[in-house]
Homo-oligomer: A and B are copies of this chain.
Amino acid sequence: MNAFYMPTRVICGRGCVREQGALLDPLGRHALIVTGKSSSKNGALDDLLFALEANGQDGTVYDRVTPNPTVGCVREGLSLLRSAGCDFVVAIGGGSPMDAAKMIALLALQDREDEELFSGGYEPKALPMAHIPTTAGTGSEVTPYAILTNEEQTTKTSISSPAMFPRIAFLDGGYTDQLPEAITKNTAMDAFSHAAEGILSRNSIPLSDVLAKESLRLLYPLLTSLSKGMPTARERDELLYASMLAGMTIAQSGTTAIHGMGYYLTYFYGVDHGRANGLLLGEMLRLCERKNLPQLDEICTACGVSRAEEICALLSELLGEREKISEEELERFAVMAQKNKNIKKSRYEPSLEDLRVIYLRSFGYSC
């Protein structure tokens, strides 16, 4: 028994927000536009306002979303949505504005106390949303997940509801043209990790594997090219498309131990989310190779390489110098990560010792 569900309408192409802006019309009359301070300074906000005006819709901007958004940020946006009388939500940005927007749209129709936010069991209803990604990595524009900083658990926690699938995703590679090198690389590694984790997930289905392999087939040469210099406009478009495919993948399969482990690097050391996945992925692939996981061969074949070592080398090239984190800290993360729900979603479920080895080797310690 398996299920595939991907209700988001995906529009791809430069200029698509203006050209296909009429698709926003059925969503509501007044949009809360959820974005970060710089997330929309790439033409996306202008294009959106143009489209809303053409439809006779209003828009109120909430631009205070920070990286790794907090419950406080979601509350602030929700409060603005209510005072302005918004009836739909448009997100512009990377994963942070998109995830904050999802929680705002969800809570707008079913509010809860802060301490209940992470306990699940949401009703399948949320305000309608459109998402405009401005980085090529998160894939959040086509997933039902929102990941928020969870202070109580000292990590980031994913909240899932089918109601959080955006109605529409507008993919315009032009919004990513000016992204700096570090963000471009980190987000690309995030997308690559989503596609690889989709294949390594216990919850993968045949159709998520098809999407994951197509994503890897496109991403591997793009990452190789990124390791040599900044991408062309065409490569930007392909990165955005491939990251969306990886998002469609994890919308079915979920993520695995990599994401579960990476959240601690982000929470405690502020390591960028995509980079955190990139830092850990190589050692996870090596572990899968030692365990003779057949899915590892599928990943290699999709990438067009014969051994995982080639992928590890490429990731190292992209990562450059690694953060300095003490052995004690990494040992502590291994213990914490063991309880993370994503660990059990891995097809090969890493033991505490496996987690130790991955964390330590990922930061240059031999063990």
Contact = CB atoms under 8 A, between A and B. Distances in A.
A6 B6 contact: yes
A196 B26 CA distance: 35
A5 B9 contact: yes
Nearest to A1: B13
A211 interface: yes
A15 interface: yes
Interface string A11-30: 11101100110000010000
A207 B171 CA distance: 14
Contact of A15 (B1, B6, B9): B1
A182 interface: no
A129 to B, nearest CB: 15
A7 B10 contact: no
Nearest to A162: B9
Contact of A1 (B1, B19, B211): B19
A182 to B, nearest CB: 28
Interface string A211-247: 1001000000000000000000000000001000100
A119 interface: no
Nearest to A206: B241
A211 to B, nearest CB: 7
A367 interface: no
A86 B85 CA distance: 36
B7 A11 contact: no
A2 interface: yes
Nearest to A16: B1
Contacts of A214: 210
A16 to B, nearest CB: 6
Contacts of A207: 10, 245
A247 to B, nearest CB: 12
11 contacts: A1-B16, A2-B13, A3-B11, A3-B12, A6-B6, A6-B7, A10-B207, A26-B124, A207-B245, A210-B211, A210-B214
Given A1-B15, A6-B7, 17 more contacts: A1-B11, A1-B12, A1-B16, A1-B19, A2-B11, A2-B12, A3-B12, A3-B20, A4-B9, A4-B10, A4-B12, A10-B207, A206-B241, A207-B245, A210-B210, A210-B211, A210-B214
The 7 closest A-B pairs by CB, nearest first: A1-B13, A7-B7, A5-B9, A4-B10, A210-B214, A3-B11, A2-B12
